[in-house]
Chain A
Amino acid sequence: MKTTDLAVIGAGPGGLAAAITAAQAGLRVTLIDESPRPGGQYLRGTGRQATQSIPRAEQRTRAFLQQLPHPHIDLQTGTLVWGIDDRTLALHGPNGNFNLQAEQIIIATGGRELVPPFPGWTLPGVMTLGAAQILTKEYGLLPGKRIALAGSGPLLLAAASALLAKDARIIAILEATHPGAWLPHVNALWGNFNRLLEGNAYLRTIQRHKIPYRFGQTVIQATGKGQLEYIVTAKLDPRGRPVPGSEKEIAADTLCLGFGLIPNTELAQLAECQHEYSTTRGGWVPARDKYLQTSQPGIYAVGEAAGVGGADMALMEGQIAALAITRRFNQIPALQRQLRPLRRFAVMLNTLFAPPLALNTLASDETIICRCQEVRAGEIRQAVRQGNHTLGGLKNSIHIGQGQCQGRTCGPLLTRLIASQTHEPPEAAGQFRPRPPLKPISLGALAQEQRP
């Protein structure tokens, strides 16, 4: 079996920082990523015009990236980690299916976007902000001709900026939260001037293009025959409920949605790391000690995968975990000091821009929640009324979360749907239990004999 001193899963900012930092101390590192290239969603998604300065986190990520290839790093791209059994990882990539036995593991699997469901959200033309950015950045394609953006948080501005760089026609940007909520969080801004400047640069781009940027509004419905044609927008009251009478119908062929990120915890769950629920870090996250080690000795978690906080935070965390693994503890306190204001800032962003729970009630009974198996909100609500207040109970009483995506998409939505119906805290609904393979692999690949 292949062996390695350290397996780093995910080659975004956190994973890159961890791999390079550990390799510098002489460890044999295997750096694994599902994408064909390292850099993560972060480098793929940076939208910037030539006139803008490069954000600090991007500079640092690129500096780590430039150290590849590295004599101590075995880079496995296009490779999926689909299982874990103690410290043995099951991988599938261009070199087939193989097991990798690692002395230590750093999970840096990033996050994914959260979109609360509403009527029409499954229409072609409705997509996530990330999908729109991939189209523009990777393929040079614009997702549509009349584009609306809705959601909450800084990614909304970043995506708008990326689309504008390709001369997209954006008809509106709808930020669901209210600016009045900023004041109690002023303390967290201290020490985060870089992040603020980054946001400010995006804002200036948007103002220059005279794009309507509305706070306290969102899209509550999407309509069209086989393709998005109209969106219905509404004002939201401070609790996130649509204000009756404020609805407006607008023609649009593309709607890009993003209400912040949630951590990709499936691998950490499969490794049986203890998890806790944190509304200020994006939901379920693995519990960690001060060196970012999970409850499973030798398994660390860094970056968005362990709590949403942005690339700056992921870079710091990747280094801290790698320094702890290579026992260079004297270098850690300085990084921890830099991490503190970043964490405060992340908590503020995640609190300010958390999609209000009321948005989860927008779905009509006909709205599809589980896309794999076409389960509608009405069926779910009825099952909840019958006493199924957990994801496990729902899965058992109605067929949900068992299709191609294994509940990756609907799981976090169900957590919030249940909470908005039962008025219990979201964590009371529990989680789906991931099983190998974490993402589909072919039967033939799974059957492949291990290379000696």
Chain B
Amino acid sequence: MNTTADAIIIGGGIVGAACAYYLSERGLAVHLIERDFPASGTSRACDGLILQWDKLPGAELSLGLASQKLWRDLAAELDAEIGFEQAGTIFLAEQADQMEAGKEKANALSASGQRAEVLTPGELRELEPELALDLAGGVLFPDDLQVDPRRATLAMLAAARRRGARITTGEAVLNFQRAPGDNPAITGVITPGGSIAAAHVICAAGVWSAEITQLAGLSLPIRPRKGHILVSDIRPKKIHHPLLEGGYATTVQLAAEDVQVALVAEMTASGSLLLGSSREFAGFDRRVSLAVIRAIAQRAARFLPHLAHSSVIRSYAGLRPWSPDHLPLIGPCEQAPGFYLASGHEGAGIGLAPITGKLIADWVTGAALPPYANAVLPDRFDPIKGSKTNVLI
């Protein structure tokens, strides 16, 4: 069956769901296509922390702060339990030099209107009694947020559906429809169920975006960056804030090829403790590596020694869509009019999903754009701009 829509979104993860949410809010007829089921990819293999202190000042932090505000609005707008909490996060300093780095981050964020409280070792332990006794201190960032990514994805999709969006699951996009002749414009997609025509086609396929853009003749510089998470049942004990070791920001910003491990600990609404994190380039292999989960357990035991007897019940690995300059790719592609990207968020996809959806809605409807919109335009990468060598992946 052949149908039409104003905008087609490819991908039903949190970014695709946010695009559907904000596009349908502007009154557009949206059709989202997900090849498996909602949140079946990276959006259910990640933590739900929405941080600002890991962002570099400039476009990255501007995006983060804008999205933080949108998440607060969403928590009120969405008529569903999405595990939203202003839990804050605590930066943990193992040694004095990390404490200095923490203070610098505190100052930088304070300048942007974010609260930050530098904690002495005593104050840190008062907030989190399970922590090791020998830490140099920490910084509490009370404005950081937490959501349940899977529930938030489902809630945004449900809201979009109530506004008339069509959501097709279990169907993959086979190809694009093109304008006749030499016109490079994209005019729709072809699926096993038929063709869908639309003036705007948005690729929100996360780490699998390169597969999609290849159909449009575009190469993407997005690479999968693998991460592991352990799930622990620590009841009756608990931690009160999400905890991240100071070295975490470094592992985020470094594009090292080998495995980077830094502790991230987050309690979920159901009472389990999620323990991360790792970063490595391992292709599309989502198998759990025994060595990596051991390394994560070691970092967890280093900072939370009282949890040594808690049981680990599961582990999983997910793939983050890594982009070479650590900024996402959001907006239209010059080489293929009508085609937009909303991808390449690496580990910040949950945090940046709302601002991504809103920017896409701004582009599609021709609304005024914030200054940082240009910094994330996909065309900053050569292959997308249309250089002769369309080979970089």
Contacts and interface: CB of A to CB of B under 8 A. Distances in A.
A143 to B, nearest CB: 28
Contacts of B388: none
B154 A373 contact: no
Contacts of A85: 287-290
Chain A interface residue bracket vs B: 20 to 34
Nearest to A373: B270
B300 interface: yes
Contacts of B231: 402
B283 to A, nearest CB: 16
Interface stretch (B100-108, B121-129, B131-139, B306-314): B306-314
Interface in B304-351: 307-316
B177 interface: no
A392 interface: yes
Contacts of B39: 396
B227 interface: no
Contacts of A393: 37
Nearest to A272: B287
Contact of B298 (A436, A442, A447): A447
A440 B312 contact: yes
A440 B298 CA distance: 17
B290 A99 contact: yes
Contacts of B62: none
B38 to A, nearest CB: 7
A388 B39 CA distance: 13
Given A396-B39, A396-B44, A403 B301 contact: no
A50 interface: no
Nearest to A88: B290
Nearest to B151: A399
A446 B294 contact: yes
B313 A444 contact: no
B243 interface: no
Interface in B227-270: 230-233, 270
Interface string A245-287: 0000000000000000000000000001000000000000000
A88 B37 CA distance: 33
A83 B315 CA distance: 11
Given A88-B290, A392-B37, A443 B297 contact: yes
Contact of B313 (A272, A388, A440): A440
Contacts of A406: 313-314
B232 A443 contact: yes
B205 interface: no
Interface in A393-426: 393, 396-397, 399, 402-404, 406
Nearest to B307: A443
B37 A446 contact: no
A441 interface: yes
B302 to A, nearest CB: 8
A436 B296 CA distance: 14
A93 interface: no
Contacts of A88: 290
Given A85-B289, A88-B290, A440-B233, A435 B308 contact: no
B355 interface: no
Given A83-B290, A396-B37, A444 B301 contact: yes
27 contacts: A83-B288, A83-B290, A85-B288, A88-B290, A387-B169, A392-B37, A396-B39, A403-B313, A404-B233, A404-B311, A436-B288, A436-B290, A437-B312, A440-B233, A440-B311, A440-B313, A441-B311, A442-B309, A442-B310, A443-B301, A443-B307, A443-B308, A443-B309, A444-B308, A446-B230, A446-B294, A447-B308
Interface of A: 83, 85, 88, 90, 99, 272, 373, 387-388, 392-393, 396-397, 399, 402-404, 406, 435-437, 440-444, 446-448
Interface of B: 37-40, 44, 150, 154, 169, 230-233, 270, 275, 287-290, 293-294, 297-298, 300-301, 307-316
Given A85-B288, A392-B40, A448-B294, 18 more contacts: A99-B290, A396-B150, A397-B37, A402-B231, A435-B288, A436-B288, A436-B293, A437-B312, A441-B311, A442-B309, A443-B275, A443-B300, A444-B308, A446-B230, A446-B297, A447-B298, A447-B301, A447-B308
